[in-house]
Amino acid sequence: MTSITRRIAALFRIKVDKALDRAEDPRELLDYSYEKQLDLLQKVRRGMVDVATSRKRVESQITQLNQSGTKLGGRAQQALAVGREDLAREALARRAAVTSKITDLQEQEVSLQADEEKLTLASQRLQSQVDAFRTRKETIKASHTAAEAGTHIGEAVTGVSEEMGEIGMAMQRAQDKTEQLQARAGALDELLASGALEDAALPAGRDDVQAQLDAVTEGHDIEAELDRMKARLRASSAAPALDAGDGPATSPEERKS
């Protein structure tokens, strides 16, 4: 059961990865990474500004404390001048405390200066990386766009080629069918001409034998008609000859009487 579960989980991960791969746009991922790097660069720069501000504040405090220490030294001198050794001792004690604070602040200033230098160097390096990434990003995006366009063109050409192939096959089928119909029509014409098939224009039940008999009968009728026409012509030519003689022709019986 555990093996089946692992296989189902692996199959699910594969399908999810394929879906994400179809949904992901590398250009969007590159832009997102670039924006994250810019955010990091801005944070480093803000940290550098904060450290520099703190260092300036420490410098200002050191300056004020130095001024305060100078004043306290002057007061101690004045107190001694007027015979107030106690006041002079108090002023010197305060100046010592100020000097101790100045030492602490100076150490803090040195630490802040080191941090500021580190952040400045990190900012410069990060800026160089961001610039290089931006150049690389735009190059990859341009290449991806060109490849995508080439893919779309190739798919379009492939689709047109497939469509033209189907059209060519359809045209070939139509041509083959036309040739088959033409061959069938020619064969039927030959069969009709040879008499193997009955012509639909002939009366029903009339076969080739009957057609031959009709042809012979029609020939005899034509000959008989020609004989009759010849007889009429001979009779018409004999009538003028009788009119040209002495009288009507007499029969042999009449001449004997």
Instruction: Show me where the domains of the chain are located.
Output: 12-133
Is the pLDDT at 145 greater than 70? The verdict is: yes
Neighbours of 127 (CB within 10 A): 14
pLDDT bracket for residue 6 (50, 70, 90): low
Residues 6+ apart with CB under 8 A from 204: none
92 or 25, higher pLDDT: 92
Residue of higher predicted confidence among 100 and 233: 100
Q: Which fold has domain 12-133?
A: Helix Hairpins (1.10.287)
Q: Tell me the one-letter amino acid at 127.
A: Q
- Assess whether pLDDT exceeds 80 at residue 243: no
Out of 90-94, 174-178, 202-206, 219-223, give the one with best mean pLDDT.
90-94
Residue 64 has pLDDT above 90, yes or no: yes
Residues 160-177 have pLDDT tens digits of 566 666 677 777 777 787
**Per-residue confidence at 252, pLDDT binned at 50, 70, 90?**
very low
pLDDT, position 42: 92
**Which pLDDT score, from 0 to 100, does residue 237 have?**
75
Selected residue with higher pLDDT from 67 and 30: 67
Distance CA 117, CA 96 (A): 31
> What is the pLDDT averaged over residues 132-154?
83
